[in-house]
Amino acid sequence: MNFTDAVLSRHTVKAYAGGQTLPQEQIDMLLSWLHNSPSSVNSQPWHFVVASTSEGRETVAKAATGTFAYNHPKIVDASHVIALCMRADLDEAHLRAILAQEESDGRFKADGAREGQDKSRRSYVDLHRYALRDVPQWMEKQVYLALGGLLLGAAMLGIDATPMEGFDAVALDAALNLRERGLTSVVLVSLGRRSEKDFNAGLPKSRLPKEAVFTHI
């Protein structure tokens, strides 16, 4: 499938065929793409929890009860569910870990490149921490960049997907012990094979006209 076909054919799946497991090579490819997602100043303020077993999906589904019960089947009937999480803060340990990894991966070829990269990244962190005071929102934006790539990657592989904000983040954080690790959940993505009950598959895409969306200057 080419990129245009993937963009135009993908849709948010509303029902999955339970008991169908995606090939591991496809999952490995998706996780590799997710691992290499872009982020502002390579801040990588995320962590991804992958539920690939029925027990794992049931744990995630603890956050889809009550008001969010409509999403429970989309979690337990999927092949895999990924919880895209963000850090509570871009602390010193994380900034040092990123810099050390960049150095290990050979990104600093020129004299002063390491120090320049560290200074530049910290300037952005300080901007959002002190001047804009929006570090959580800034980190969340990076997680949504990763989400977009994941959804398009799944479409390229012919994998059905459902992004979900409809879950109890407090309950999910507790079920996955995220806060003890300095993390909080942002969005869920179910992956699998849609069932015949997926009514959204037969509906046409609907977008505002290009004239309302694009301005050419």
Catalytic residue among 25, 55, 62, 74: 74
Beta bridge partners of 185: 85
Contact 124, 70 (CB under 8 A): no
Contact 150, 33 (CB under 8 A): yes
The three-state secondary structure class of 117 is: helix
Specify the DSSP element, H or E, that contains 156: helix 135-156
Contact 71, 42 (CB under 8 A): no
**Whether 74 is catalytic:** yes
Both tokens of residue 16? Answer: 């999955």
Catalytic residue among 14, 25, 92, 211: 14
The three-state secondary structure class of 60 is: helix
What is the C-alpha separation between 36 and 14, in angstroms, rounded?
Answer: 28
Catalytic residue among 115, 119, 165, 197: 165
Determine phi and psi for 191, rounding to 5 degrees. Answer: -130, 140
Nearest to 166 by CA among 12, 45, 7: 12
Both tokens of residue 129? Answer: 């921490």
**Whether 165 is catalytic:** yes
Both tokens of residue 152? Answer: 């398009």
Helices (H), 83-178: 92-104, 113-126, 135-156, 169-175
Instruction: List the catalytic residues.
Output: 14, 74, 165
